[in-house]
Amino acid sequence: MQYRISHTTKYSYAEPASVCHNLVHLAPANFPRQAVHEYRLTVQPSPPTIVNRRDYFNNRVDYFSVTEPHQGLTITASSRVDVSPPVPITDNPPWEQIAAQFNPGSPRILSVLQFAFKSRHIPILEQLRQYAKISFTKNRPIFDAARELTKRIRTDFKYDSTATSIHTPVAEAFARRHGVCQDFAHVAIGCLRSMGLPARYVSGYLRTLPPPGKPRLVGADASHAWFSVYCGEETGWVDLDPTNDLVCSTDHVTAAWGRDFEDVTPIQGVVIGGGSHIMSVSVDVEPLQSPTL
């Protein structure tokens, strides 16, 4: 499936700002089942330069500064991406076998191991472990258990954009059973890590228009978030969307991954001056019928 994606963020300041510095994770990721054919970042007012690099997790990061007085800022990321469905799972070992790979004294894979521990926004909590244990019963295959956990979060939690903020602790979101995609992904990751399993946070997009006869997915009008669980060396990472109770496939476009939301925040910045501000975000993920723009 090929998409044209447009992600626009606008800031309006009450007073002129003298300077701002911004770091953005808006470029879609390139990996075996996702190919980025075009990516363009435009900023108004136009900065002197926009530079990019790869972060620790190999995500593309763009950085720019606006050094002239301005009373607003518009950032638009445009891209064209091909997304293929995931390879069918043929190896589905018991979850204990995966967790045992990361016990002290056992062989360790650093690139995977780093996602097995607590992070700044996802602590290891006993209440999450107890919730996870319902799905992670003895000798249950890793994917089956993670898939059931995904379904339970979709059933037990209510999507409510007013219930939490980006600063809401995962323990509070879990207790309330209300939140948004970021909260649900953090809860799922916390559950998995509490069982000794590597899990990572994934940011990205959902197709805006569902296929004929299919319901519109929650979160399709903004950037979205889900999680990946490590299912062993043969299968690798499998992406699951607890907001919509889905195994991620061609409806999901991956932008970046990290330990939690903070690692892949779409836009992080510092502004000098400006007073109070208003921010608006517009996202459009358009399926393309032909391979050309």
Q: What is the pLDDT along the chain (293 residues), one digit of tens a residue?
A: 999 999 999 999 999 999 999 999 999 999 999 999 999 999 999 999 999 999 999 999 999 999 999 999 999 999 999 999 999 999 999 999 999 987 766 777 888 999 999 999 999 999 999 999 999 999 999 999 999 999 999 999 999 989 998 889 999 999 999 999 999 999 999 999 999 999 999 999 998 777 788 877 776 677 899 999 999 999 999 999 999 999 999 999 999 999 999 999 999 999 999 888 899 999 999 898 644 43
Level-2 CATH architecture, domain 2-84+265-287:
Sandwich (2.60)
Of the CA atoms within 13 Å of residue 151, those in its CB half-sphere come to: 8
CATH class belonging to 95-261: alpha beta
The pair of structure tokens assigned to 177 is 């059973």
Q: Which residues pair with 119 in a beta bridge?
A: 122
CA distances from 252 to 31, 49, 264 (A): 14, 31, 16
What backbone phi and psi angles, to 5 degrees, belong to 194?
Answer: -65, -20
- For residues 219-234, one letter each, b for 16 or more C-beta atoms within 10 angstroms of the residue's C-beta and e for the rest, the string is bbebbbbbbbbbbbee
Note whether 256 and 223 are within 8 A (CB). no
Please check whether the two domains, 2-84+265-287 and 95-261, share a CATH topology: no
Q: In angstroms, rounded to a whole number, what is the distance separating the alpha carbons of residues 199 and 260?
A: 10
Instruction: Select from 60, 84, 74 the least CA-distant residue to 6.
Output: 74
Residue pair 124/190 in contact (Cβ under 8 Å)? The answer is: yes
Distance of CA 98 to the CA centre of its chain: 23
Residue 236 Ramachandran class (φ > 0 left, ψ -120 to 50 alpha, else beta): left
Q: Look up residue 278 and give its two tokens.
A: 């208003």
Q: Are strands 158-159 and 237-241 parallel, antiparallel or unpaired?
A: unpaired
Residue 137 structure tokens: 């019963």
164 CB-side CA count, 13 A: 24
Structure tokens that stand for 134 in this block: 């319902």
Q: Which of 230, 225, 226, 208 is nearest to 217 (CA)?
A: 208
Structure tokens at 105: 């004294």
Which residues have CB under 8 Å from 254's CB, separation 6+?
Answer: 28, 29, 31, 34, 202, 203, 204, 239
- Spacing of C-alpha 37 from chain mean position: 21
pTM (2 d.p.):
0.93
In this predicted model, what pLDDT tens digit does every residue of 121-151 receive, in sequence order? 999 999 999 999 999 999 999 999 999 999 9
Predicted confidence (pLDDT) per residue in 245-293, tens digit: 999 999 999 999 999 999 999 999 999 998 888 999 999 998 986 444 3
| Proportion of the chain above pLDDT 90, given as a percent | 84
Sketch the domain layout of the chain as residue ranges.
Answer: 2-84+265-287, 95-261
The count of other CB atoms within 10 Å of the CB of residue 45 is: 14
| 3-state percent breakdown (helix, strand, coil) of the chain, nearest 5 | 20, 40, 40
